[in-house]
Amino acid sequence: MIERVLIIGTGLIGASVGLALRSSGFVGRIDGWDHSSLELTAAEQMGAIDGRAASRETTLEIARVADVVVLAMPVLAIKDWMQALAPIVGSGQLVTDVGSTKLEITELATKLFGGEHKAVFLPGHPMAGKESGGAMLAESGLFDGAMWLFTPVAEQPAAVEKEWRGWVGCFGARSLDMDAARHDELCAWVSHLPQMLSTALAALLEDTFGDAPEIGAIGARALRETTRLGASPYSMWRDVAMTNTQPIADTLLALEQRLTHLRENLRTPGLRDEFELANRFRRRR
């Protein structure tokens, strides 16, 4: 039975996990650690965690006795913590993550976890968030209605893994298991490409117009919606780009080719065809 949870990384997602646990009826202890004392303090004050680890070393000591350790930080930091945790956690314990890419994490988990006397690792990715991060924006209902993806390492889930999946369901999230490579390919299209597109557009507008007041005045809703993701932090997306480089590059190339097609057909029926395809896609969703 899960009675003690350790959340390493108490920003938006990590703090929201703590709040979601509490609002779902979890009565055990939740400890937290973050490299930012501001994030850690905010998470503690809002009730996302019960106690805070004083250092990385203290965090590892708490991990030894936690039933579940949640890694809620950018992907490269997750991999670093996986290396640190593997020698000190054991059977009956679960380590899981919320990273945005899964192939490298899943491959590393296969090497470090599972097997006799070792902890279970369950790679996870809640498709939830905001364009800005930080514990102050955390919500207990952040995962309500969201899809929580898993790329499991073990064929047969351990009891602690089943119980954690149950809590994810209590958060209001739906879950789906898939192959890690397929996850990264699909997320490149539906998550990473929209981010890169919004970033490129916002950066282009900044380069071209700077703080010209007319842009905000006439851009209105369309501009706000298409550039909203441009406010996302580089610190997270750097790791996504570094751990899912080829799938993202492939989607960007495909988009470049599509934009070229649009540019070349601005005065032909080809433009109408593109609008019809786009309209069909939206009607299905």
- The predicted-structure confidence for 37-81, as pLDDT tens digits, reads as follows 999 999 999 999 999 999 999 999 999 999 999 999 999 999 999
Q: For the residues 89-105, what does the mean pLDDT come to? A: 97
Considering the domain 182-283, what is its CATH architecture? Orthogonal Bundle (1.10)
Residues forming CATH 3.40.50.720 domain(s) in the chain: 4-178
Contact 232, 131 (CB under 8 A): yes
Quick one: pLDDT at residue 26?
A: 97
Q: Average model confidence (pLDDT) for the chain?
A: 95
Q: What is the CA radius of gyration of the chain?
A: 21
Contact 10, 65 (CB under 8 A): no
Q: How far, rounded to the nearest angstrom, does the alpha carbon of residue 59 sit from its chain's CA centroid?
A: 22
Contact 88, 82 (CB under 8 A): no
Q: For the residues 85-105, what does the mean pLDDT come to? A: 97
CATH code of 4-178, in short, is: 3.40.50.720
Which pair of tokens denotes residue 166? 């149950």
Non-local (6+) Cβ contacts of 115 within 8 A are none
pTM of the entire predicted model: 0.93
Residues forming CATH 1.10.3660.10 domain(s) in the chain: 182-283
